[in-house]
Structure 1
């Protein structure tokens, strides 16, 4: 009687997305390496239809995209519009201050020169990417609102510009936060759904491969079961190491 080698258990639900994708990618490679049954190109040498593997491949590509890439958001157009508006406020602010530096009115000219030295570090901030610009504008607004600068702002008549800039910058930050939150939630739900389908397919294909290795043993089925068990052992070991490391870090934190 030949020894029966069972496929080891692996708790796929416990793996994080990176571990899950890595395991499923290597599983897919093992299945593909096994090839098809001789004379039956539509059937894997491991006992299941090639269409099952094709469905698995499709979901594997999908989950890689979900894990590695951000989705295009419905908020994109709104964000672009608000970003353009706040850019215009920034440009207007600097234009007014530069214009004031050339004023024939001494009080206005002196106020503009003083204020320009304060806002100069923020020159070109409207060219920065999204949230970098938001942060830079927040710093600019803090400086403009300092008590010692109030009279300079008033002399140059910049209050309306500052209000407009503050409102649009705030709107941008709020909308960006909503987009980030909703994108994350959408990706999470879709990733959960894809993972569930892939786990079901994995269970089916690995079970069929085990059955094939017992009912119709070949070098191919034996190699597959052996390689899959080695892979499962490796993944379980790495998972346990990661959890142990996390627990050590928690223990090291002061109470």
Structure 2
């Protein structure tokens, strides 16, 4: 029987968009390392595969851009809240009965007033003015006042939030935003079709025995693709397990088996004995005052 090369199945449909584009990108790199004529892959097929892969990457980048927009808004809200807190504490302490707080607020309010309605400015102007505010608040003459009004932590958090905001803003500036991109599901079908076509042609080239075909190269490609598929499946299963663990609460400890309810005691016996079977009730008698089994409820 003619020897063939076998390439495992990865189940591309189960992968999310990020996993899908990552797999195809790595698979393309494996195939692209070899001369097309020696592995039986026509150049136009590789170009089409690469083009669809690029469109998938653009779609994913657009999703990232939308996520960045949300994160930017959240981070801006955070720094606005910190600015408002700092300014309100300073202005509130203008009425403080404590001399040290009153003095600190009187000097710091001059700094706060320089920046007016800082929180309502555009993103780029606000970032620059926050940097200016931080420089002013960190001046040696104001450092003791910041400590007095217990604003050190808030100022530090404002600096961190502004730095993180700027980082997100710069990332969003380079993110792709196109209105003419197709749906991800449509492109995925095309990319998968390219990949499956490549696999078919690799196997056909190995069987052909054509002079230009290098079977050792084809064996190496099959080996590398199978390794990639193993890693992809392992990563997918790990991700699935982590999601399940995050969704399901930890199993509570198995509760101890409850003890048997206390058995009624026999006269002079322990609670572990079998309860006495009730006797056939006797004819009721009129109670008399000397019967110890009959008691009146206490008021």
Q: TM-score, normalised by structure 2?
A: 0.44
TM-score normalised according to structure 1 size: 0.49
> Higher helix proportion, which one?
1
From the CA coordinates, give the structure whose radius of gyration is larger: 2
